Structure 1
Amino acid sequence: MEAMKSFFFYKPFLYLLLFLFAEKVLLIPAVRERFTVASGVDFDVHAIEGEEELSRKDQKQIWVFGTSRSVPFGRTPSVRDIQETPGLNQEQREQLERHRIYSFSLSASIPVVFLHHYLYLREKGYRPDLVWIEVSSFAFNENYSLRRSYIGEVSPDAFIMRHLDRYPPRFLKEWLTARLFVGSIFPPTVQDDSTRFMNKAFNPLAVTRTSMYRPVARTLRLEKDRSAEEFPDLSSDSNYRALLQRVYGEWLFSDYTADAMALDSLDYLIAELEKDGIPFVLWTPPVHQNFTRIEQESGVERPFTSIVNRLRKGDRRYVRISTDSMQCRLFTDESHLADVCYTELAAILIDSSK
């Protein structure tokens, strides 16, 4: 009888020990990849190819923080783009020639990653003359599908430990929880080899790199680039609508809830910029009207409007760009403006920063 009482007394502690043991086993990369939803992608957010380019003083520097919608600024506009893109006036060409744009954007990224990059670059002694910060609705959704990956797989642990006071408490709480309890951010599951391969192959971090080198060639229209009118009609094509709902509605906007951690992260970045006396522009990129419809049907419009209103408080510059105000109106897909349009987009953003 005494033995049974002792067993029941210690039973909760045994369960706790088993739980902690299982959690620590999940710290082993091979185990975490097979038995959780972690992608297994080895990504260093501070690995910047050609970082020495940031030491150049011959042009004013614009730093860009954002998602895949800001990635093209890493390659466009080139010198030939500035010279040959139609529709720009002479003042815009001269403005573009005086600036050099560096994009630290990552596909599917979230605002705390912007903060990782900025703090690292300033610690290295680099300083921009202007910063563009992308404000896209999905990046502020607490239930966005890749949010956990960017907290659990991208966070630079040693760097964060040295700069705890420069990160928002909400982020530190989630980051620390992710490190102590892997299962809290990567729910346990069993992945076979093919599933693991697909998760890694389709994770944007698997193909992403940050480079400061810029091409010199002209940016051309690609075969996949289409005008707004060339996309299917969302109202009359039910299969197309269902596809967009799966790709965008479920992946980006599922149970859309304003992410307090994302807002805090951007507030911390803006506070750093204001402390350093660096001007910045908050901007929302143009998307195809079909994407906007999916946003609206997913209940994004009202909470995202509140998010934008909070971010643009005071005299902060904010611009929401529509292709209605552009001469170049081509899209790679519903969510992305074509690269060939980014020279004009850069000119608009420089004008907006004045």
Structure 2
Amino acid sequence: MSENERPQNEKINFFTHPFLFYPVLLFIFIFTLDKIFFLDKVRDYVKVELTYIYYDVKQDLLKEMISKFGKNAEKKSDKKLVLLMGSSRMLYFKNEEILDFYPDWEVYNLSSAVTTPAYYLYFLERLFEAGVKPDFLVLEADPFQFNANSTTFKKSNLANSFDLRFVLSNAWDLGKENVNYYLGNYFFGVSKNKPYLANVYSHLTNKKFEQADLIKKLTIDSLHKDKGNALSPAGGFMEKDYGRLEASSVRTIGWIYPKYSPSEMQFSFYEKILDKVKEEGVPTLVVRPEVSLPLENLLKEMNIPAPWWERIRPINQKFGIPIIDMAEASDYECNTFADSGHMAVDCYRPFLRFLRMRYPGE
């Protein structure tokens, strides 16, 4: 037998053929290098916007509530815990006004951009298991949160919220595609914070990014200090041009209501939420914040709100939890908007008074 020939039954020995380890070593090296993209400094350079900051701070506020109101809290606050959970439509309450007008309340705002029932359920599960029971829970509900064809759930909630335990325990509802997307972001930094070189170049060369670190720090400090309530990017601005509201409405439709189709996944999470708060005995109110007339008219033309109301109202009735359309509430009236889908900051004061009137025992 030629010395170059090898018996068919001869076993491969990795120790005598070290090159067989090269693919394994290469994978370990790349996997380790990939973790650089989880670093905050790297994330700041590859991201073109700072929305993720809001999600990061909400996780910090979750821990803060558990430390102050949980079953293992050293000294629980004597104030009433009021918890707000919604999208950016409920994000801009002024914390100083809450303290001035309702000093007996301690209000935490876990609202963030384009949230969904799945986002609410994650936080409520973590709070309840830690023994935190809000004295009053206010949830936002809107058809856009139940759109199966919107990509915002992946890009916002799934990319920036949840933990591995929540995703795996709710894998059946989330579905294979969403679970795989989350796991990809969880294990691989280049998936979560994609290294687009154009973004890095812009951050290095464009003067508008020179103050990015300062803006980020001020935003984080403000969100922590005001317990999740944010400063409105529009300030006190209110749009008075009806034509601009119409144009903004078209953009909003294309962004969060595209190819509208009800999401069975989000309706399933919504029922789980109401079931949990009912089981825990937490006084709960669900509201749909008012949107501008041009946007509401477009939604009606697309036949989005009516079927949604027909489906969601029976769910709330099933659990005995009220749901109120702010546009139809007789004791709330504010008709100014920063854009088609967001009320102006002047509306948050009557909105807060509206909530106070429905506080249990008032």
Interval containing the TM-score (normalised by the shorter chain): 0.5 to 0.7
Q: Does 1:322 align with 2:327?
A: yes
Q: Report whether the alignment pairs 1:295 with 2:308.
A: no
Distance 1:69 1:321 in 2: 12
What whole-Å deviation, never above 9, does each CA across 1:268-316 have from its counterpart, x for those lacking one? 1212111111111111111221221232244422332234324322322
Q: Corresponding residue for 2:179?
A: 176
Count how many residue pairs are aligned between Structure 1 and Structure 2: 295
User: Structure 1 residues 177 and 277 mapped into 2: Cα distance closer, same or farther (>3 Å)?
Assistant: same
Distance 1:63 1:271 in 2: 17
TM-score (norm 2): 0.65
Q: For each residue in 1:203-253, what CA deviation from the matched residue of structure 2 results, as whole angstroms up to 9, or x when unmatched? A: xxx9789946439xxx99x86433xxx63334xx7xx6445312x011011
Matches within 5 A, 1:25-64: 28=34, 44=56, 46-48=59-61, 50-51=64-65, 52=67, 54=69, 56-64=76-84
What is the CA–CA distance in structure 1 between the aligned matches of 2:35 and 2:147, rounded to whole Å? Answer: 28
Q: Which residue is equivalent to 1:277?
A: 281
State the shift of 1:351 in Å: 2.6
Tell me: CA distance 1:304–1:231, structure 2 relative to 1, closer, same or farther (3 Å): farther
Are 2:98 and 2:105, in contact at CA under 8 Å, matched by a contact in 1? no
CA deviations over 1:313-336 (Å, ceiling 9, x no partner): 232211111287435443222212
**Equivalent of 2:263, from 254, 259, 265?**
259
In structure 2, relative to structure 1, the CA distance for the partners of 1:263 and 1:290 (3 Å cut) is: same
CA displacement at 1:174 relative to structure 2: 4.5
The separation in 1 between residues aligned to 2:110 and 2:235, in whole angstroms, is: 27
Q: Hey, what does 2:340 align to over in structure 1?
A: 334
Q: How big is the shift at 1:30?
A: 8.1
Shift of 1:106: 0.9
Write the distance in 2 (CA, Å) between the matches of 1:129 and 1:232: 41
Q: In 2, Cα distance between the equivalents of 1:104 and 1:122? A: 15
Q: Post-superposition shift, 1:259?
A: 1.2
Q: Which residue of 2 aligns with 1:244?
A: 249
- Could you tell me the percent identity over the aligned residues? 17
Deviation sequence 1:75-112 (CA, Å, 0-9, x none): 263333x2xxxxxxxxxxxxx44433211111211111
CA RMSD of aligned residues (A): 4.4
Tell me how far 1:29 sits from its aligned partner. Answer: 7.1
Code of the residue aligned with 2:250 in structure 1: it is: Q
Q: Structure 1 196/152 Cα, relative in aligned 2: closer, same or farther at 3 Å?
A: farther
Could you tell which deviates more after superposition, 335-344 or 320-329? 320-329
How far is the alpha carbon of 1:151 from its aligned partner?
4.8
Distance 1:347 1:173, change over 3 A: farther
Q: Which amino acid aligns with 1:78?
A: I
Counterpart of 1:214 in structure 2 is 226
User: Is this contact kept in 1: 2:138–2:287, CA < 8 A?
Assistant: yes
Aligned pairs for 1:130-141 (under 5 A) are 130-141=136-147
**How many Å separate the matches in 1 of 2:95 and 2:255?**
27
CA distance in 1, matches of 2:338, 2:299: 18
- Map Cα deviations across residues 147-192 of structure 1 (whole Å, 9 max, x no partner): 112354124333426xx55x4731264542324567xxx8xx9955
Question: In 1, distance between residues paired with 2:77 and 2:274?
Answer: 24
In 2, are the aligned partners of 1:62 and 1:131 still within 8 Å (CA)?
yes
Aligned 8 A contact 2:68 2:77 in 1: no
Q: Judging by fraction of residues, say which structure has more helix.
A: 2
**SS of match in other structure, 2:88:** coil
For residue 242 of structure 2, what is the aligned residue in structure 1? Answer: 233
2:316 alignment partner in structure 1: 312
1:350 matched residue in structure 2: 356
- 1:56-82 deviations in Å (ceiling 9; x for gaps): 4322211111111121247263333x2
Residue 353 of structure 1: CA displacement? Answer: 5.0
Q: Does 1 or 2 have the higher relative contact order (CA < 8 Å, sep 6+)?
A: 1
Q: What's the offset of the Cα at 1:267?
A: 1.3
Q: Report which of the two structures shows the higher radius of gyration computed on alpha carbons.
A: 2
Q: Name stretches of at least 5 consecutive residues in structure 1 with no aligned partner.
A: 1-20, 83-95
1:145 is matched with 151
For the pair 1:108 / 2:114, whether they are aligned, the reply is yes
In the superposition, relative to structure 1, how do residues 223 and 59 fare at CA in structure 2: closer, same or farther (>3 Å)?
closer
The amino acid of 1:137's aligned partner reads P
Q: CA 1:160 to 1:327, structure 2 compared with 1: closer, same or farther past 3 Å?
A: closer
